[in-house]
Amino acid sequence: MNKLLMHPAAKPVVFVLCLLPFAWLFYGALTDGLGANPAEYLIRSTGDWTLRFICIVLAVTPLRVIAKANALARFRRMLGLFAYFYVVVHLLSYSWFDMGFEMADIAKDIAKRPFILVGFSAFVLLTPLAATSFNRAIKALGAKRWQALHKLVYGIAALGLLHFFWMRAGKNNFAEVFVYAGIIAVLLGWRVWNFARNKNNKLPRPLAAAPRAPLSR
């Protein structure tokens, strides 16, 4: 698997696959194939894909460790940037199709509706992660500070899930919410378990008692 993932064509293939949902939505918009309410379909679809990509990003490390496929790490940055790409398209779709780019109305709507405020907060937290996803940023921040900053993704996943829950609560439709909640719980739970296991493995073991020298007679 590592050999396959290190192939020069692997990254372009993953890039194209990540772009396919956007291409499909764009084609649907051009051909009037997004249903009776294309604006709502576009907003919700880009939101769904944002949450899916966050789950995919969170899945990279567990899969890398369990499958011993260290080459998966080289795709994590690209996948994270696609999560940001889809959340930007999601926000633009809402701002354009729902609010007509009326910034005063958008600000009022964000403050008035909790699920939009939570979603916007997730976008704000995701922005510095996208902005520091290049090598110069890692060198400027230092590895430890960069890693600490990018742990915000755990909170972002929780906010994204809460945003999705509140959005579906209006229609009392929680089936997909439970699926995403289960996936995120497993991915974050694995990290807690793996951290605890590694910490226990690093603890010094008690030294065996040295044998006593026989008493001289």
CB atoms within 10 A of CB 179: 11
User: In this predicted structure, what is the pLDDT of residue 217?
Assistant: 39
User: In this predicted structure, what is the pLDDT of residue 215?
Assistant: 44
User: In this predicted structure, what is the pLDDT of residue 214?
Assistant: 47
Query: Torsion angle, CA of 57/50/116/149, rounded to 10 degrees?
Result: 30
- How far apart CA 78 and CA 53 sit, in angstroms, is 10
Q: With beta carbons less than 8 A apart as the criterion, state whether 65 and 191 touch.
A: no
User: In this predicted structure, what is the pLDDT of residue 200?
Assistant: 81
CB atoms within 10 A of CB 55: 19
- Backbone φ/ψ region at 100: left (φ over 0), alpha (ψ -120 to 50), beta: left
- How far apart CA 117 and CA 63 sit, in angstroms, is 32
- How far apart CA 187 and CA 69 sit, in angstroms, is 17
CB atoms within 10 A of CB 107: 12
Cα–Cα–Cα angle for 16, 95, 173, nearest 5°?
A: 75
Q: Note down pLDDT in tens along the chain; length 217 residues.
A: 889 999 999 999 999 999 999 999 999 999 999 988 999 999 999 999 999 999 999 999 999 999 999 999 999 999 999 999 999 999 999 999 989 999 999 999 999 999 999 999 999 999 999 999 988 998 999 999 999 999 999 999 999 999 999 988 877 889 999 999 999 999 999 999 999 998 887 766 555 444 554 444 3
- Backbone φ/ψ region at 35: left (φ over 0), alpha (ψ -120 to 50), beta: left
Q: With beta carbons less than 8 A apart as the criterion, state whether 53 and 89 touch.
A: no
- How far apart CA 75 and CA 84 sit, in angstroms, is 15
CATH T-level assignment (fold) for domain 2-192 = Four Helix Bundle (Hemerythrin (Met), subunit A) (1.20.120)
Distances (CA, A) of 130 to 22, 191, 195: 19, 22, 25
Q: Where are the domains of the chain?
A: 2-192
Distances (CA, A) of 99 to 49, 68, 124: 21, 47, 19
**CB within 8 A of 11, min separation 6: which ones?**
74, 75, 78
Q: Look at the block and give the residue holding tokens 């993932």.
A: 5
